[in-house]
């Protein structure tokens, strides 16, 4: 399962969804969906914009993968 850590990162950096929206040009409600892990697709361009605005150096600071314990092998 892919999980965005956007809410954690934004909290640490002092960003609101509106702040990040203004810094990236991404709609605030799209950012809110990413924060709550409700998105099914995200463009690479938007990930790059978020990484730059939040001054992140590693994708793992923004996104993590955890194996879903309910998934079949």
Q: What is the pLDDT along the chain (73 residues), one digit of tens a residue?
A: 889 999 999 999 999 999 999 999 999 999 999 999 999 899 999 999 999 999 999 999 999 998 877 776 5
CATH 1.10.260.40, applies to 2-65: yes
Burial (CB count within 10 angstroms: exposed 0-12, middle 13-18, buried 19+), residue 28 = middle
Q: Give residue limits of the domains in the chain.
A: 2-65
- pLDDT score recorded for residue 9: 96
Q: How many residues does the chain have?
A: 73
Predicted TM-score (pTM) of this structure: 0.86
- pLDDT score recorded for residue 73: 57
């Amino acid at each position: 399962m892919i999980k965005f850590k956007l809410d954690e990162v934004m909290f640490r950096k002092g960003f609101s969804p509106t702040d990040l929206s203004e810094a990236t040009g991404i709609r605030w409600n799209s950012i809110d969906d990413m924060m709550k892990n409700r998105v099914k697709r995200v463009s690479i361009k938007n990930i790059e914009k978020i990484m730059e605005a939040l001054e992140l150096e590693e994708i793992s600071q923004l996104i993590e993968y955890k194996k879903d314990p309910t998934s079949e092998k």
